[in-house]
Amino acid sequence: GNSVTQMEGPVTLSEEAFLTINCTYTATGYPSLFWYVQYPGEGLQLLLKATKADDKGSNKGFEATYRKETTSFHLEKGSVQVSDSAVYFCAPDGGSYIPTFGRGTSLIVHP
Amino acid sequence: EPEVTQTPSHQVTQMGQEVILRCVPISNHLYFYWYRQILGQKVEFLVSFYNNEISEKSEIFDDQFSVERPDGSNFTLKIRSTKLEDSAMYFCASSEFGQVYEQYFGPGTRLTVT
């Protein structure tokens, strides 16, 4: 089955810093790729998605590009805010659009 | 904005007891899911449900588990004879017909088996 590897957290940044959270996956074929975010005390939310190679998903200033050659889907944001503090999950589609989640990466942004 | 709700937020039970975790999906959604996350580990898919029957289930979802949509609003996960290793956060999710890739998650129920 599909699997995902995310960088270990927590990632700690100052406000307005540049964010990269690395994600690589193993999969059969070319699955859709998702990033989910979980804010404190809330459920997971779909942040962005890409459904085919070279697609760029974007939302709320976050971006990720589907890189087939490197089987990666790194999450980036140019200038993080304190409100971006959350746990971020990279997830390839495990089939029938059911995400295959990893452990998530905790992001802590300081003022 | 509509949201998925789950009750209770925290459930403590003794080993061997049965528990029922409850979820109210978003009202016009037709697909329903349960996931779990053992502390410090990844979020794992348990089961998906559509049209009053299980669509898919993982290896984790064995005979100990069952799901039900007892009425038009609730979606439940029953765990019979709980074990210590069932302690986890359980998430319910739902999605709309035609938008199945966008699942809306509830805040979770933390189950502690003692």
Dmax (CA) for chain A in angstroms is 42
Flag if A103 and B41 touch (Cβ within 8 Å). yes
The whole-angstrom separation of Cα A60 and Cα A76 is 11
Q: What is the pLDDT of residue B99?
A: 66
Q: What is the pLDDT of residue B38?
A: 92
Chain A residue closest in CA terms to B107:
A43
pLDDT at B111 over 70: yes
Q: How many CB atoms lie within 10 A of CB A68?
A: 10
Q: In this complex, is the C-beta atom of B100 within 8 Å of any C-beta atom belonging to chain A?
A: yes
Q: In this complex, is the C-beta atom of B42 within 8 Å of any C-beta atom belonging to chain A?
A: yes
For range A1-27, the mean pLDDT: 91
Chain A residue closest in CA terms to B109:
A43
Q: In this complex, is the C-beta atom of B106 within 8 Å of any C-beta atom belonging to chain A?
A: yes
Q: Which of B103, B104, B109 has the highest number of chain A CBs within 10 A, making it the mutation to test binding with A? A: B103
pLDDT at B53 over 90: yes
